[in-house]
Amino acid sequence: MSVGSYFKPSAAGGMLSIQSSAVDLKALEEFAKVVPKAAAAAQRRAINKTLGWLRTHIARAVSRQERIAVAAVRQRLRSYPVTGGSTSGKLWFGLNAIESSRIGRARQTGRGVSVAGRRYQGAFLKKVYGNKPDIWIRTASKHFNADDYPDSTVSGGGGVSSGWVAENGNRFPLVKAKVSLEQARPHFHTWIKRADARLLEILRQEFNFELQKHLKRIAHV
């Protein structure tokens, strides 16, 4: 029996599943006996619209809370809309720390780098790996604070791992500045409750739309 929308947390994020509750499904089944294709179409549109609504509001909420550009948050949200005979849509939200260079427009200053209201004293903006510049700091710098560089493991070994770089020469090792998204995890319960209410609202709208089409079709027969 369907229990409605729910979420499943994981270490790296959370999967939100959007689906009708048992009560809504009963109403849907009754409507489907009359116009089965219309009922299925109404449910599919309602779930997919709810996914879009949820994605927009999660992105805005996290953006405000963490002072991160909305576009950067949206990149962590992946929708899996209803297709074919499926009755459940999903939204994945990745919570791994995001590179600080992606949360807004980074600016190099004489004292470090500033971005989205954050200041990384002693850091510099430069391409080290990849095609885009990131915010880095030497771990030997007196300004280095591990709290400003989450998910980065400082090591004396060589290579690249989780945002740190260690190479020969007095420029290294370096650590990449990131912003933790773990603070967004407690909001999953709130978002899924809101999604359930929103889904019911849109389901009613879509059912009514299909019903009106059906009645108009009958009237012209």
pLDDT of residue 81: 93
pLDDT of residue 156: 45
E-strand ranges in 63-190 read: 77-80, 89-94, 98-99, 107-108, 112-115, 118-121, 124-126, 134-138, 159-161, 164-166, 174-176, 178-179
pLDDT of residue 90: 92
Q: How far is CA 155 from the centre of its chain?
A: 30
pLDDT at 89 over 80: yes
E-strand ranges in the chain read: 6-10, 13-18, 77-80, 89-94, 98-99, 107-108, 112-115, 118-121, 124-126, 134-138, 159-161, 164-166, 174-176, 178-179
Tell me how far CA of residue 2 lies from CA of 6, 45, 183, 197, in angstroms.
10, 18, 30, 15
- The residues with which 93 forms a beta bridge, in sequence order, are 14, 77
Q: How far is CA 19 from the centre of its chain?
A: 18
pLDDT of residue 172: 62
Helix (H, G, I), strand (E, B) or coil at 62: helix
pLDDT of residue 171: 53
Per-residue confidence band for 21, with pLDDT thresholds at 50, 70 and 90: confident
Per-residue confidence band for 207, with pLDDT thresholds at 50, 70 and 90: confident
pLDDT of residue 182: 87
Q: For the chain, what are the domain ranges?
A: 6-96+182-219, 99-179
What residue has token string 């689906």?
19
pLDDT of residue 220: 59
pLDDT of residue 10: 83
Tell me the average pLDDT across 178-200: 86
pLDDT of residue 87: 79
pLDDT at 1 over 60: no
Tell me the average pLDDT across 18-33: 70
What residue has token string 């060589």?
158
Rounded to 5 degrees, φ, ψ at 178 are -140, 165
Tell me the average pLDDT across 148-161: 56
Per-residue confidence band for 160, with pLDDT thresholds at 50, 70 and 90: very low
Per-residue confidence band for 35, with pLDDT thresholds at 50, 70 and 90: confident
pLDDT at 183 over 70: yes
